[in-house]
Structures are given as C-alpha cells and as structure tokens.
C-alpha cells in the first residue's frame, strides 16, 4: 500500500466561529473556505497547513454519525485521513492483514471521490479514513462553496458569519 500523505485531520466542533477563535486566530492557520457537505450532513471549515488540512466539522443534523459523536464524546478529533494512491489495493492489503474495516468497499462520494473508514478497534482507538483523490474534485468543491454562500445569503444564517465578519472587516472603521 502506498500512503501519500495525511490529507486531513477532522475535528468535530459545536460552533465553527467559536472554534476558529483558536484554530485560525490564536494558532494563526489560514481559513481557506467553508464548505457545505450535504452527504455528511456537515459544514466544514478548511484550514490548510503544509500538505495537509485541519477540518473543523459541525454537524447540521442530529442523526448523523458526526452528530452522535459530538453528543456522546463532546468536541475533539474525529478522524485522521490518509490519501492513498489506490484505495482498492489499500483495502485489500488491510483486509489481508486482518484489519477491521467499516467500509468493505470504497464509498463513492460526490464527484467520484473514493473514501473508506477503518474501524478504531483495529487502529488503537482512532477512526482512520482512507481517501483516493479524483480529477473532478476541485470543481465539486467550488460548486459546494457557492451553494453555501447562496444559502447563507438567502437565509441570513450564521453559516457564513466568518465571511460576513471578513466583509465587515473590509468596511474598516465602521462598527
Ligand atoms: Zn475525512
């Protein structure tokens, strides 16, 4: 199996803006964008650092896996994701080693990206995600970011309050 890098570390939070107070403001990481991820019923804030990203994940419904995690264990590291060259091959290799997989076959997400999770029972307590990048993904991400912006504009909700804060910042010496 060929692991290319840690793609991201996902951290479940109760409130994105509140969490940005540490991860962006105190730590100094850059917020690249906030994305609506409907198939994971989450809003995700991306903070790239080197070749990897910190992802702050806030559940948008009460019955998703992420929401259950938050209710049960509180905020914290949810999973670590490795980018692999060939996910089918990686899963076959793990299976051959007797590793317990949550997804026996890769889940195909929007844009054709392939992911699979390894059970914490086999990893010494950490949920591990394997991920194979596909060519279409940048376009999909852009579309999602647009949708989120549209929704925030339409509803005036706090989802894009970071963006609003940024815009207010541009306003300069106003309030
Ligand atoms: Zn992930």
* Structural domain boundaries in the chain: 3-134
138 Cα to the center of ligand 1, angstroms: 16
Asked if 107 and 115 touch (Cβ cutoff 8 Å), the reply is yes
More confident residue, 11 or 171: 11
67 Cα to the center of ligand 1, angstroms: 14
What average pLDDT is seen over the chain?
A: 86
Residue 84, classified by CB atoms within 10 Å of its CB into exposed (0-12), middle (13-18) or buried (19+), is buried
Neighbours of ion ligand 1 (CB under 5 A): 10, 81, 129
Tell me: pLDDT of 51 over 80. Answer: yes
60 Cα to the center of ligand 1, angstroms: 16
Place of tokens 């005036």: 156
The first and second tokens of residue 62, run together, are 């009460």
> What proportion of the chain, given as a percentage, has pLDDT over 90?
66
Name the fold adopted by 3-134.
2,3-Dihydroxybiphenyl 1,2-Dioxygenase; domain 1 (3.10.180)
* Helices 137-155 and 161-170, packing angle to 10 deg: 80
Please tell me the predicted confidence (pLDDT) of residue 93. 97
159 Cα to the center of ligand 1, angstroms: 20
- Secondary structure (DSSP) of 109-148: -GGG-EEEEE-GGGTTS--EEEEE--TTHHHHHHHHHHHH
9 Cα to the center of ligand 1, angstroms: 7
What residues pair up with 79 in beta bridges, in sequence order?
A: 10
Tell me: pLDDT of 174 over 50. Answer: no
pLDDT digits (tens, 9 = 90+) for 161-170: 566 555 555 5
Tell me: pLDDT of 127 over 60. Answer: yes
pLDDT band at 5 (very low <50, low <70, confident <90, very high): very high
pLDDT band at 96 (very low <50, low <70, confident <90, very high): very high
175 Cα to the center of ligand 1, angstroms: 37
109 Cα to the center of ligand 1, angstroms: 12
Mean pLDDT of 43-53: 95
């Amino acid at each position: 199996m060929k692991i290319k890098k840690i793609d991201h570390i996902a951290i479940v939070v109760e409130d994105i803006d509140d969490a940005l107070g540490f991860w962006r403001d105190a730590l100094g990481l850059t917020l690249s964008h906030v994305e609506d991820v409907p198939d994971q019923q989450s809003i995700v804030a991306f903070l790239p650092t080197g070749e990897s990203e910190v992802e702050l994940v806030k559940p948008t419904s009460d019955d998703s896996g992420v929401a259950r995690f938050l209710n049960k264990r509180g905020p914290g590291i949810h999973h670590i994701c490795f980018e692999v060259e060939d996910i089918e091959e990686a899963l076959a290799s793990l299976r051959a080693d007797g590793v317990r997989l949550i997804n026996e076959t890769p889940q195909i997400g929007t844009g054709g990206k392939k992911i699979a999770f390894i059970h914490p029972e086999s990893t010494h307590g950490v949920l591990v995600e394997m991920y194979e990048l596909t060519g279409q993904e940048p376009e999909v991400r852009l579309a999602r970011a647009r949708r989120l912006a549209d929704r925030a504009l339409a509803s005036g909700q706090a989802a894009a309050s970071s963006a609003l804060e940024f815009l207010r910042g541009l306003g300069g010496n106003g309030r």
